[in-house]
């Protein structure tokens, strides 16, 4: 009888130890996602010397799915022309801006895509009625505009760092503003407002490294 009780207690102890070990290990981390997205079309109406106010729907992007979306809530960043907005803060007040329903934010880091390995939370800003978190205009944010060639060129070493709508993190390197990302784009022959970009998405809560 004592032998049976001893074996029973031993089995319970081993089972308890095994469960404790599993608990200590926690939930396995999700794999960081590294992708290139090609030809995200971001059309706009008006602006750029037309004499008309800028308008038209923004093209929304969701880092968790790695896809464009038409959802009113499940998006992280959105594009229209050269403007990039986040799903956090408030509208600047331009025509057809989507409502901000999340807690997204952003800043621009200087460095290579590989070298930006950790989020500086203190730099994160949100869209406001005075400006976007990613500034607009040539030389102010992610691009330069050449008025002689009518060409939009991403600025090397400008990495866009984002907090997503639900508190995760991502970084983006814009490679091209022209369809199919030509090596030497010609604004007269290559269709513009087609973003190609590298991105890395950190899907794990509370982790600020890539």
Per-residue pLDDT band at 25 (split at 50, 70, 90)? low
Split at pLDDT 50, 70, 90, the class of 21 is: very low
Q: What is the pLDDT of residue 88?
A: 98
Residue 152 has pLDDT above 70, yes or no: yes
Q: Which residue has the higher pLDDT, 41 or 14?
A: 41
Q: Are 180 and 195 in contact (CB under 8 A)?
A: no
- Given a contact cutoff of 8 angstroms between Cβ atoms, the answer to whether 173 and 113 are in contact is yes
Judged by average pLDDT, the poorest of 1-15, 94-108, 126-140, 153-167 is 1-15
C-alpha separations of 108 from 58, 70, 82, 88, 179 in Å:
21, 26, 15, 16, 24
Q: Is 83 within 8 Å of 131 (Cβ atoms)?
A: no
Q: Cα separation of 30 and 28, whole Å?
A: 7
Interacting residues of 70 by C-beta distance below 8 A, sequence separation 6+: 60
pLDDT tens digits, residue range 76-122?
A: 999 999 999 999 999 999 999 999 999 999 999 999 999 999 999 99
74 CB-side CA count, 13 A: 8
Domain coordinates of the chain in residue numbers? 28-202
Rounded average pLDDT over 22-44? 87
Residue 129: the pLDDT is 96
Q: What is the pLDDT of residue 18?
A: 39
The model's confidence at residue 51, banded by pLDDT at 50, 70 and 90, is confident
Q: Which of these ranges, 22-36, 68-82, 179-193, has the smallest mean pLDDT?
A: 22-36
pTM of the model: 0.86
For the four alpha carbons of 78, 97, 165 and 90, in that order, the dihedral sign comes to positive
- pLDDT one-digit tens code per residue, 164-174: 999 999 999 99
């Amino acid at each position: 009888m004592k032998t049976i009780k001893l074996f029973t207690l031993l089995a319970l102890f081993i089972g308890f130890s095994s469960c404790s070990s599993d608990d200590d290990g926690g939930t396995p981390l999700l794999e960081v996602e590294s992708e290139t997205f090609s030809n995200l079309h971001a059309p706009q109406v008006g602006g750029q010397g037309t004499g008309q106010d800028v308008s038209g729907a923004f093209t929304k992007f969701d880092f968790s799915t790695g896809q464009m979306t038409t959802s009113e809530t499940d998006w992280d960043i959105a594009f229209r022309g050269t403007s990039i907005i986040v799903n956090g803060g408030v509208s600047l007040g331009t025509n057809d801006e989507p409502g901000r329903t999340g807690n997204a934010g952003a800043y621009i880091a200087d460095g290579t895509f590989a070298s930006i390995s950790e989020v500086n939370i203190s730099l994160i800003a949100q869209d406001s009625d005075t400006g976007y978190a990613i500034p607009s205009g040539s030389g102010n944010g992610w691009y330069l505009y050449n008025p002689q060639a009518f060409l939009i060129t991403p600025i090397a070493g400008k990495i866009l760092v984002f907090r997503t709508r639900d508190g995760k993190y991502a970084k983006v390197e814009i490679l091209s503003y022209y369809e199919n990302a030509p090596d030497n784009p010609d604004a007269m022959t290559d269709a513009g407002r087609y973003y190609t970009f590298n991105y890395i998405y950190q899907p794990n809560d509370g982790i600020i490294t890539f």
